[in-house]
Structure 1
Amino acid sequence: MASNVGNKASEIFQGQVHLYKHLLAHTVDAMSLRWMVELGIPDIIHNHGQPITLPKLVSILQVSPTKVRGVQSLIRYLAHTGFFEIVTIHENIEEKEAYALTAASQLLVKDNDLCLAPVIKGLVDPSSGGVWSDLKKWTYNDDDLTLYDVSVGSNLWEVLDKNPACNKLFNDAFAADSKMMNMALRGCNWVFEGVESIVDVGGGTGITAKTICEAFPNMKSIVLDRPRVVENLSGTNNLTYVGGDMFKSIPKADAVLLKMVLHNWNDKDCRKILENCKEAVSDKGKRGKVIVLDIVMNASEDEDELHGLKLLFDVRMTCLINGKERKEEEWKKLFVEAGFQSYKISPFTGYLSLIEIYP
């Protein structure tokens, strides 16, 4: 009997640890990443040329002695979560604890061509964090309103249009993320075989389109996005910017690229976008295609960390903007309902898939 009581207590205490871990991480995880980027710690370690000790780091940061313990606490937690590696170095015949960059924090070094620091600045925005406190209100709202609608009275896109500073952070974040996709696209030249023209729908400032133009100088590339996004951008001989609305029409081309676009929208809106895509690629007398770069939910095959990331994306998309992440059968249903005949899914990046769909 005593053993059963002990086992029950052990389960309760384990549950408490699990609960407190996620409760405390609610703000610490995101804000410690923002803190690390704002202080330029990955750059400091990178420029130091070797793992750095805490005394050396706080000296470079010019931190007050009263805050040294706090910096150590944050750095050790970031090491625990995989953003630094704690190593031992030898200095003046002494062994000292030092901090080295990991694959994750290397992506936050400004000199890195694939720097993702703007993603942190864009997504970890204290001014928008308050909308999550209205989850209960959102849950019991009968209308098809987003968490932004319920909390601030406007959807995300309206908020961005009204706030140039937030809009710039948002665009900078996705421009940085596009560089990761572009690295993957360079290994997918087969996707563009026979394609003479392509429209990048929601292509922002054209980071991806420029990569495609460099790889295929004879291909005509068009970036379609909100007028506010493209109004001051200049094109080149084979790159043009078009301000427009993908729900109304999409320029004609051999192919249409939808890069992390469809997960922003519900099924009804996605069908409309895909129908416009089908019309855009079906008017040239040959079989065009739509190229979708997006998440495919696959709990049975994904590792736990990857599946967890996809679930987090799904929560953000669903609550913030009425979007969703989809399983393959859900993607297939959308394609069929939009009038497409076939599709093919290929691996792309760690969490994204490449889907080719044909009319």
Structure 2
Amino acid sequence: MAAQAPAIEVPTDAELLQAQADLWRHTLYYLTSMGLRCAVKLGIPTAMHKLGGVTSLPDLADALSIPASKQPFLGRLMRALVTSGVFAAGGKDESGAELFRLNPLSRVLVDDVVADEHHSQTSFVLAGTSPHYMEAALGMADWFKKDVAGPVPSVFEDVHSASLFDESTAALDPELDALVTEGLEAHDNLGIGTIMRECHDLFKGLESLTDCCGGDGKTARAITKAHPHVKCTVLDLPKVIEKTPSDCVVNYVAGDLFHTVPKAQAVMLKLVLHHWSDDDCVKILTQCKNAIPSREEGGKVIVIDIVVEPSLGPVMFEAQTLMDLLMLVFTRGRQRSENDWRDLFMKAGFTDYKIIKKLGARGVIEVYK
């Protein structure tokens, strides 16, 4: 005889109505992402910036060359994006039209602005909402059911037979590869100024530093500008370094951080390790340990990465857990708690570490051999 299913607990009327609203939100969250993608593709943040950061719907539609027949629909899109926090609204113009405004989130989506600390995140949005990304995310359930021997591939690898940040991505779709590279660079460089201001002593007394996976050297140049006494070297893959124009400020080295890291007093890993499995992180950290002197000689590894922590509050914690799902679907890595980081450092042979600052979802960690 088949086992009888347990009785289900029936929600109260109020709970049921709230559950229905929550179900709508969670099922349809992707429409917020698609609305954000639409705003970026239309150039709404940039148009608003050129209009002084505040605009009415008719003026915005005119700036975007939106046909009059579509203006009411544009209003509905803007209402949804204001509700989700992408834009702000408030006040009316002389004609009584509602005014929409840029806020901190939409300001980082403004293109065509030259400023030391402005790194537009439009590529991050377009990569994260691209068809290839969506298709990979749709493959999660099938991925979970597959048993595999050896290292577990990402969902993206399983669906597309390609790895992000690898030559296989370019073979899959050159446009996607370029977008992912641009998005990663913009994401990683956002907040450099904050790190310089909030962690000024992090680089105090250093004579040399190697920035692993430092890309085109934006972070290294920011460090050198704030601390001219620090000689910075950027280590990255040959395909990255060969596209980077040489300068007299930063030394560029083509290589693989799994095999060699240029020796320096400090080695920095900024938003690098969350892309890799625990085993790979230990290998990377071991190479970094071999590249630095002892703690007594000022040697250290600087890790700037997400430190998952519920105490940061529900919004920040949700952002961290979403970033962890991003790693699950698109890489073999993960986001880590302080205990997870401690385990990695000890396995790689380090003797001590300290989190010197928490900046939003990220932590700045000094690790000593």
One-letter amino acid matched to 1:244: G
Number of the residue aligned with 1:245: 256
2:165–2:181 contact (8 Å) kept in structure 1: no
Contact 1:234 1:240 in 2 (8 A): no
* Further displaced range: 153-162 or 184-193: 153-162
Note if contact 1:181-1:349 (Cα within 8 Å) is conserved in structure 2. Answer: no
- Structure 1: how far apart are the matches of 2:159 and 2:63? 41
- The residue correspondences of 1:1-359 to structure 2 (distance < 5 A) are 8-26=12-30, 28-49=31-52, 51-91=54-94, 94-110=95-111, 111=113, 113=115, 114=118, 115-143=120-148, 144-158=152-166, 159-162=168-171, 163-187=173-197, 188-282=199-293, 286-299=297-310, 301-359=311-369
Residues 196, 219 of structure 1: 8 Å contact kept: yes
SS state at 1:324 partner: coil
Paired with 1:229 and 1:302, the residues of 2 have a C-alpha distance of 35
After TM superposition, the structure 1 stretch with the greater mean CA deviation from structure 2, 70-79 or 153-162, is 153-162
Question: Could you say what secondary structure the match of 1:251 adopts?
Answer: coil
| Equivalent-residue separation in structure 1 for 2:96 and 2:109 (angstroms) | 28
**Could you tell me how far apart the structure 2 residues matched to 1:90 and 1:238 are?**
49
TM-score (ref. length: structure 2):
0.89
Query: Cα distance, 1:259 vs. partner?
Result: 0.5
Task: Indicate if the aligned counterparts of 1:217 and 1:238 stay in contact, CA closer than 8 A.
Answer: no
The CA distance in 2 between the partners of 1:311 and 1:305, in whole Å, is: 10
Separation in structure 2 between the aligned mates of residue 88 and residue 238 of structure 1, nearest angstrom: 48
Letter in 1 for 2:85: G
> How far apart, in 1, do the equivalents of 2:259 and 2:366 lie?
22
SS in 1 for 2:98: strand
Tell me: CA distance 1:171–1:157, structure 2 relative to 1, closer, same or farther (3 Å): closer
Deviations 1:74-110 (A, max 9, x none): 110001011222222241xx43312111121122222
Deviations 1:288-333 (A, max 9, x none): 100000011111x211100000000111112321211111111111
State the Cα deviation string for residues 84-141 of structure 1 (Å, max 9, x = none).
22222241xx433121111211222222732322322332222332111111121012
SS at match of 1:175: helix
Given the two structures, how large is their TM-score scaled by the length of structure 1?
0.91
Which whole-Å CA distance do the structure 1 matches of 2:24 and 2:316 have between them? Answer: 23
Report if aligned partners of 1:247, 1:276 keep a CA contact under 8 Å in 2: yes
Unaligned runs of 5+ in 2: 1-8
Paired residue type of 1:55 = P
* Distance in structure 2 (CA, Å) of the matches to 1:50 and 1:332: 44
Letter of the 1:227 partner, please give it. P
Given that 1:138 and 1:145 are in contact with CA atoms closer than 8 Å, whether structure 2 keeps it comes out as: no
SS in 2 for 1:157: coil
Residues paired across the two proteins, number? 351
The 3 A distance-change label for structure 1 pair 285 and 358 is closer
The 1:227/1:304 distance shift into structure 2, 3 A limit, reads: same
- Cα shift readout 1:236-294 (whole Å, capped 9, x = no counterpart): 33412222111111111111000011111111111111100000113899341000000
- Give per-residue Cα distances to partners, 1:34-58, cap 9 Å, x unaligned: 2112222122222222632212222
Report the Cα distance in structure 2 between the residues aligned to 1:46 and 1:157, rounded to whole angstroms: 32
Distance across 1 between alignment mates of 2:267 and 2:89: 46
In the other structure, the counterpart of 2:3 is: none
CA distance in 1, matches of 2:53, 2:195: 32
The 1-side partners of 2:170 and 2:20 are apart by 43
Which deviates the most, 327-336 or 122-131? 122-131
Cα distance in 2 for partners of 1:258, 1:342 equals 17
The amino acid that maps onto 1:199 is T
Displaced runs of 4 or more, over 6 A: none
Question: How far 1:335 moved relative to its partner?
Answer: 0.7
**Aligned with 2:215: secondary structure?**
coil
More displaced stretch, 127-136 vs 262-271: 127-136
Report percent identity of matched pairs: 32
Q: 1:137 touches 1:150 (CA, 8 Å); kept in 2?
A: no
Cα distance, 1:260–1:12 mapped onto 2, change above 3 Å: same
- In structure 2, how many angstroms separate the alpha carbons of the residues matched to 1:294 and 1:18? 31
Question: Residues 238 and 137 from structure 1, CA distance in 2 versus in 1: closer, same or farther, beyond 3 angstroms?
Answer: same
Secondary structure, aligned partner of 2:97? strand
